[in-house]
Amino acid sequence: MIGQTISHYRITEKLGEGGMGVVYAAEDTYLGRLVAIKTISPDSDSKHFRSRFLREARAISALSHPNIATIYDYGETENGRAFIVMEFIKGETLGDILARGDLEISEGLRIIESVAEALSAAHERGIVHRDIKPSNVMVNDKGQVKVLDFGL
C-alpha cells in the first residue's frame, strides 16, 4: 500500500501489524501533517469486523485525554475496506522499551500511572480496553505516554 492514497491520506510506510489490522504512516494531503492509518486486514474484512472497527473509532473519538491517541477520521476505501486515522506518535512502544532492558523503576511507574489514568478515563465513559499490552502503549520522543488500539 506504500505510495497509495486512501481518501486524502498518502501512505508512506508500514508501521506495524496486529491481529485485526495493519497500521501505516501517512501524509494528510489536506492539512500537511503526518498521521497513522489503521486498516482492517483483508483476512478480517467482514461486516462484523467493520462494525467493530467503526465502534472502536466512535468510542475512542469520544474520549479526550492526553494519554489516549486521538482519532481524527474514519472511512472506507472505494472497495469497502475500513480505516481509522489517528495521531501519529513519534516514539517507541513500551514493548520495545522493555526489550532493551534499561527501563528505570521510576520511569516504569510513571508509564504505569499514565496508562492507568487513560484507562480510568475510558472506564468513566463505559469503554473497556480489550487489548492492553506493551505494544499498545507508546512513549513519544518527549516522554508522553499514549494508549492505542482499544480492540473493541
Residues labelled catalytic:
131
DSSP state of 68: B
Distance CA 131, CA 119 (A): 11
Name 119's Cβ contacts closer than 8 Å, sequence gap at least 6. 129, 132, 147
Pinpoint the alpha helices (H) of the chain. 47-61, 94-100, 105-124
Q: By C-alpha distance, which of 98, 99, 136 is closest to 118?
A: 136
Distance CA 100, CA 46 (A): 38
